[in-house]
Structure formats: structure tokens, C-alpha cells
């Protein structure tokens, strides 16, 4: 496949070895590096500030010899470019004696345009306005031999149909970077050519600047700083290369190499456009200046991608991040529930325990909420209601969970009332949807009546993944007073319970929680022939890890179904084949669209992550969406 079709563009940054005050040698070296990055699929390559001359030439910038040589080297370099953008740094002088530190865009054998540096530092170790003028207001047409181009800060360039813009070093460090306007005018990629010397602790500050600007502008920001072959008379340059996309680091280079340093990343412009469309404050912002877009070059075909797609995007990597994330999830859930108890004036919490992961997590949240309110565990009423499909395994897990946490378990077998009810409505006893849903609704009725009896709230347990797939009974387990798991996906639920087991549980509780984590996911609504779990959800729906992957990228990154399939092939290449992934995707899409009616009337629950299906918050969708067109397209993949 060609990854351009799903919005992937490959770009490169390089900090080449520089020969100070030798533009021709630098041009030849830059050209060689440029051609090397073209072979690796790049559609644009950015070099550091004043890369043709070297940044640290100081008063040699007054020399006609250096400037003439720079002009000649620039034209020679431009004439050798191909259908790939090259952004090179050079001094551009005008007839009036002014000179501009510029980023020059070259492609297809010519100079396309030049962007002058606006913020000229003259503090600390920087003395740039000794040589250069601010280009904030310059709008000039430059004639250089047979090449004519604009020198203008307010211009963007097109890679195919994708706009990119440029700013130079200090322009990023000021309070109103030009890139903010560039992005409001449409730029999706910003290149920054820089000469940022290295100081103790400056690394993290520089990375934060790049990351935050990419987040504020919802863009990809690619930064290339001058390398160690600049003059070290008073400062050392590290050749730091950074790429961030909407606040997330794509990659960065090492520093202080005495060789060329290169960085190549794949940018997802479709993802950026989606994020801009859905961010109302971005859309309502207006640029303070208008710019023009200049066609530059095409986008190179890509038969592979450098992007990494985690098979579990909701779950952070192991270590401190996972510990911090899971702890915060519990804090959000328990705080939301505690506040709900205060506003409702309730004295207790009622929760149905099944012996599965979701109800266990919700139960732990209840304990934390009561602790926040300095209330006794006697005000938590765990209820287990074994029915026609309940196994001895899960029932024993519930008993052990209550014992390990010191609560009194209320057990009420629903087999008889459910059987009587089915007979009353004329059900024939077949193991159909009515048979299953009658059990779920019987349990919900009991929980709400107990909540009335004890002046309590019914705590919901269904997770985000089940809500996405409609894997719940309408007005059964679908309903509660407050659902603490409503925006916690299934793949994260298990990690939160594991974290609790490892970090907060007693030895007795740890044993129980580990037992529950290892139990197959099941609604247990169909009778089993043994004491083990019979009916298994993932054998019916497909693996939750794949459905969570689809859910995340559909809602969080705006991926089309075609893109969902393509990137799932990368994430699960060693686990599932194409036929299986197509089957899972069809199931996901069909169930997601068909079950919106359940989500339209969801009870309240706290948002814990960036993906939520609350009809009052993140997701509004008609209940009657037609699905066949998309399902047919999936079959044709």
C-alpha cells in the first residue's frame, strides 16, 4: 500500500558537518545528505540556521567574498534539487544594504522562496543584529541571476496539497511565534532551522518549547539545530534535532556528534486536520496576518511507515507512567463518586458484583470514595445475584473479594424469579436474547430497590469498550445512578486492577484480584456444563484489545475505516491475519453504529481519558446511522 493515502508524509531534519565560511563545500555536502534522505522516502528536508555559511561566521558576514560565494552556492544547490523540498539557511542581502538571516526553500531545480528571521537576538551570547535585520515586515522580490523569488515571512509552501511553513530559531522563543499565524493560515508542518547552543539544562527547555508549540498549533514541528562543527570559541552547538506532533514527541536525535546527524519521521497530517476540525477554539482563532501558498513539490510515495502503533493505545508503557496513570484514574473515579454522594445526600453505595474485572474495579472505587468522605465500609453494600449462567468460580471470587475487604456480602439467587418471569411472558425456555436480558434486568431492578431501601446510589460497572460495542442490556446493566467505569476501556481496566493489586492491596486481597484478572471475560447468562466460566465474550465479539484499538483511533485520531484496517495490520502483525482483522473491524463498526441508542441515554459518569462516549460530552451521534456502505467497503479491503 501507499501510506500517503492515509495521510502519512515523511520528512527529515539534518545537522550536517559544516565548513565555516565555505558555502560551496557546504552546498555539496548538503546536497549529498539531501539525496540520501530522498532515498529514504523524505518529501522535505530541513537543515540548520545559516547552514550554507555556518552560523558562527561573525563579522565575515560583512564580507562580499563570503556573501557572493553563498549566493553562488545557493543557486548551485537549488539547481540540483529534485521534486523534494530542501530548506537551507543562507544570508540574503538587498540593494538597500540590509541583510536577512533566511530559510530558503528549493525544489525542482529552483529557489521557491525565502523566509527571513523575524526575532533577531542581541542578548547574552547572541549579537545577531550586528549583521542581520529583522524580516518581520519585509516583502521583497529577490532577483538572483536567473532565479526570482519572494523574501517574505508570511508565505507557506505546498507539499502536494499539504501546507508547510518555516520559522528561524529565535522566532520560536518569543511570546508570539510566527508559526502561530502560519498554522492559523493552514500550515500543518512547521520547520524551524536553528543555531541553539548547548547549556546545562537547556535541552529540556528546548524540547518543551517545540512540544508545546506543536500542541498549541496542532501541527507537526520539526526542528534542526546547528552541529558541533560550528565555532566553539565561546559556545558549543550540539546538532539537536527534534520532531513533535500535537504535543507528542515523534523522535529526537542525540547531540554533540562530530558526524552528520539525521532525523526522519512520518507525520500524520490527516490526524492533525481531524484534531483541528474538532477543536472549536482553534477554528475560532483568526491569524493576525494573511499569507500566500506557493506550490513546491509532490509528496513521495511510501510503501512502509516509521510510525509506531501500539496494540494497546489506552495503556501507557510499564513503569512510572503506568503507575501514575492508573493512580490518577482511580482518583478521578472515586472523586466523582464521592461528589455525587454529597450532592445526592445518600448514605450508602450499592453495587452488583459478578466476580469479573469491571465490577471489581468499580468496587475498589467505592471503597476509595467512602474513604474520601470518612465513611465506614458498612455503608457499602456489595450484592451478588447468581443466576442461570453463574459459575462457581466467579461466585467464589465474589465471596473472597468481600472477605478480603471486610464488607458484608448480600447474596440473592435470581434463578427462580427469572424463570417464573419468563414463564409469565410466554417464553419457551430457549437460550435467546430474551433469556439473557431478563437476568440482567432482574439484577438491575434488585439493585435499584436496595438503593431505595438503604438511601443509596447504584454504582454502574460497565466499561467504555462494552458501551462502544453495545455489550450491555438496555435498561439492565446499562443503567445505574452513576457509572464510574463509563470511560475506562477494557484493556485499561485490567491494568488498573493489576496496579491496585501490586501497590495497594493486602496479601489476601492481592490473591483475589489476581484470580479475577485471570478469569475469562463473560456475561455468564447462559448455563455452563461445569463450574468454570462457560460463555466467553471475546469468542463472540473478538478480542477487546483489537476493538479498543479501533475505538481509540476512530474517536481520538479520526481514522477512517480504511485507515483503521491499515494501521491495525501494523499493530497486530504478529497476532492476527488480514481476514481476522477485517472480521473484527466489521463487528466493531456494525455494533458501534447499531448501539448508539443505548449510549444516547447513558447515566452520568466521570471522564477519565481523552476518549469518552458520553452523550452530554464527547460523542453525539444519531441512533439511525446506515451501516451497509461501510461494511461493504470493509469486505473489499
pLDDT tens per residue across span 131-172:
999 999 999 999 999 899 999 999 999 999 999 999 999 999
- Residue 153: per-residue pLDDT: 97
* pLDDT band per the 50, 70, 90 thresholds, residue 534: low
Q: What is the pLDDT of residue 319?
A: 75
β-pairing verdict for 410-411 and 380-384: parallel
Specify the residue for cell string 470493509: 634
Catalytic residue among 49, 167, 466, 524: 49
Q: Mean pLDDT across the stretch 392-420? A: 97
- Does residue 532 carry a pLDDT above 70? no
| Stretch 36-43: mean pLDDT | 98
Q: Apex CA 421: angle with CA 417 and CA 424, to 5°?
A: 140
Which of 42, 57, 106, 169 is flagged as catalytic?
169
How much is the average pLDDT of 182-208?
Answer: 98
Q: Residue 528 pLDDT more than 80?
A: no
Q: Which domains does the chain have, with CATH numbers?
A: 3-297 (3.60.110.10), 320-635 (3.40.50.620)
- What pLDDT is recorded for position 299? 98
- Look at residue 316 in the predicted model and tell me its pLDDT: 86
Say what the pLDDT of residue 320 is. 77
Per-residue pLDDT averaged across 63-71, rounded? Answer: 98
Q: Is the pLDDT of residue 533 over 90?
A: no
Kindly tell me if the per-residue pLDDT of 601 is higher than 80.
yes
Whether residue 531 has pLDDT greater than 70 = no
What average pLDDT does range 330-341 have in this prediction? Answer: 99
* Predicted pLDDT of residue 529: 66
Listed residue (195, 218, 309) closest to 570, CA to CA: 309
Of 472, 466, 467, give the one whose Cα is nearest residue 618: 467
Q: With 90 as the cut, is the pLDDT of residue 430 above it? A: yes
According to the model, what pLDDT value does residue 157 have? 99
117 is catalytic: yes
Whose CA is closest to 352, among 467, 520, 473? 473
Q: In what order do the strands lie in the sheet with 189-194?
A: 248-252, 241-245, 220-225, 189-194, 162-168, 155-159, 292-297
If you average pLDDT over residues 5-24, what whole number do you get?
Answer: 98
The fraction of the chain above a pLDDT of 70, given in percent, is: 99
Q: Which of 42, 57, 106, 117 is catalytic?
A: 117
Query: Looking at the predicted structure, is the pLDDT value of residue 210 above 70?
Result: yes
Per-residue pLDDT, 95: 94
Instruction: State the alpha helices, DSSP H only, in 373-463.
Output: 392-405, 415-424, 433-453
Rounded to whole angstroms, the Cα distance separating 305 from 283 reads: 30
| Residue 535 scores a pLDDT above 80 | no
pLDDT at 322 over 90: no
| Secondary structure E strands in 108-247 | 110-116, 139-144, 147-152, 155-159, 162-168, 189-194, 220-225, 241-245
Mean pLDDT within 548-562: 98
Output the pLDDT for position 379.
98
CA distances to 362, 363, 407, 496 from 350, in Å:
11, 9, 12, 21
pLDDT score at 290: 86
| Residue 345 region by backbone torsions, left for phi larger than 0, else alpha for psi between -120 and 50, else beta | left
Q: Rounded mean pLDDT of the chain?
A: 96
Amino acid at each position: 500500500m501507499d501510506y500517503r493515502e492515509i495521510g502519512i508524509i515523511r520528512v527529515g531534519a539534518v545537522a550536517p558537518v559544516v565548513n565555516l565560511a565555505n558555502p560551496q563545500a557546504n552546498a555539496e555536502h548538503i546536497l549529498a545528505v539531501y539525496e540520501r534522505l530522498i532515498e529514504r522516502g523524505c518529501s522535505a528536508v530541513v537543515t540548520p540556521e545559516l547552514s550554507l555559511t555556518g552560523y558562527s561566521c561573525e563579522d565575515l558576514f560583512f564580507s562580499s567574498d563570503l556573501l557572493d560565494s553563498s549566493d553562488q552556492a545557493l543557486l548551485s544547490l537549488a539547481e540540483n534539487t529534485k521534486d523534494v523540498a530542501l530548506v537551507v539557511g543562507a544570508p540574503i542581502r538587498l540593494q538597500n544594504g540590509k541583510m536577512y538571516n533566511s530559510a530558503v526553500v528549493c525544489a525542482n531545480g529552483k529557489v521557491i522562496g525565502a523566509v527571513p528571521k523575524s526575532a533577531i537576538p542581541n542578548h547574552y551570547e547572541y549579537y545577531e543584529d550586528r549583521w542581520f535585520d529583522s524580516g518581520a515586515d519585509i516583502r521583497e522580490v529577490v532577483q538572483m541571476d536567473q532565479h526570482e523569488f519572494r523574501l517574505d515571512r508570511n508565505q507557506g509552501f505546498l507539499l502536494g496539497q499539504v501546507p508547510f511553513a518555516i520559522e528561524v530559531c529565535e522566532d520560536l522563543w518569543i511570546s508570539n511565534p510566527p508559526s502561530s499565524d502560519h498554522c492559523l493560515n493552514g500550515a500543518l508542518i512547521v520547520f524551524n532551522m536553528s543555531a541553539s547552543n548547548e547549556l546545562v539544562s537547556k535541552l529540556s527547555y528546548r524540547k518543551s518549547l517545540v512540544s508545546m508549540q506543536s500542541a498549541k498549533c496542532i501541527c507537526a514541528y520539526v526542528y534542526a539545530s546547528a552541529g558541533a562543527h560550528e565555532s566553539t570559541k565561546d559556545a558549543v552547538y550540539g546538532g539537536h534535532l527534534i520532531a513533535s506532533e500535537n504535543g507528542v514527541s515523534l523522535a529526537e536525535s542525540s547531540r554533540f556528534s562530530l558526524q552528520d546527524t539525521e532525523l526522519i519521521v512520518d507525520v500524520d497530517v490527516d490526524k492533525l486536520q481531524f484534531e483541528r476540525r474538532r477543536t472549536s477554539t482553534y477554528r475560532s482563532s483568526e491569524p493576525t496576518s494573511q499569507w500566500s501558498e506557493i506550490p513546491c513539490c509532490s509528496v513521495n510515495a511510501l510503501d512502509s511507515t516509521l510510525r509506531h502503533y501500539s496494540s494497546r493505545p489506552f495503556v501507557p508503557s510499564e513503569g512510572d507512567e503506568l503507575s501514575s496513570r492508573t493512580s490518577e484514574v482511580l482518583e478521578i473515579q472515586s472523586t466523582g463518586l464521592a461528589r455525587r454522594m454529597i450532592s445526592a445526600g445518600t448514605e450508602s453505595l450499592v453495587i452488583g458484583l459478578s466476580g469479573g474485572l469491571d465490577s471489581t474495579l468499580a468496587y475498589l472505587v467505592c471503597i476509595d470514595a467512602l474513604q474520601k468522605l470518612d465513611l465506614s465500609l458498612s455503608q457499602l453494600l456489595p450484592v451478588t445475584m447468581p443466576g442461570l449462567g453463574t459459575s462457581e468460580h466467579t461466585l467464589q471470587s465474589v465471596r473472597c473479594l468481600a472477605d478480603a475487604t471486610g464488607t458484608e456480602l448480600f447474596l440473592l439467587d435470581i434463578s427462580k424469579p427469572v424463570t417464573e418471569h419468563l414463564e409469565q411472558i410466554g417464553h419457551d425456555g430457549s437460550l435467546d436474547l430474551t433469556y439473557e436480558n431478563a437476568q440482567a434486568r432482574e439484577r438491575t431492578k434488585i439493585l435499584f430497590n436496595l438503593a431505595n431501601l438503604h438511601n443509596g446510589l447504584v454504582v454502574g460497572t460497565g466499561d467504555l469498550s462494552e458501551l462502544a460495542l453495545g455489550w450491555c442490556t438496555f435498561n439492565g446493566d446499562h443503567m445505574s445512578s452513576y457509572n464510574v467505569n463509563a470511560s475506562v476501556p477494557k484493556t485499561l481496566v485490567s491494568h488498573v486492577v493489576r496496579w491496585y493489586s501490586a501497590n495497594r492491596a493486602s496479601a489476601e486481597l492481592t490473591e483475589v484480584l489476581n484470580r479475577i484478572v485471570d478469569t475469562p471475560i463473560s456475561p455468564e447468562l447462559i448455563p455452563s456444563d461445569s463450574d468454570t466460566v462457560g460463555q466467553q465474550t471475546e469468542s463472540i465479539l473478538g478480542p477487546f484489545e483489537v476493538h479498543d484499538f479501533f475505538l481509540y483511533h476512530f474517536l481520538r485520531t479520526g481514522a477512517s475505516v480504511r485507515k483503521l484496517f491499515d494501521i491495525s495490520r501494523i499493530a497486530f502483525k504478529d497476532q492476527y491475519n488480514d481476514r481476522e482483522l477485517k472480521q473484527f473491524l466489521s463487528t466493531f463498526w456494525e455494533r458501534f453504529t447499531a448501539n448508539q441508542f443505548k449510549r444516547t441515554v447513558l447515566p452520568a459518569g466521570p471522564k477519565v481519558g481523552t476518549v469518552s462516549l458520553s452523550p452530554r460530552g464527547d460523542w453525539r451521534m444519531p441512533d439511525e446511522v446506515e451501516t451497509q456502505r461501510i461494511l461493504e467497503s470493509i469486505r473489499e479491503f
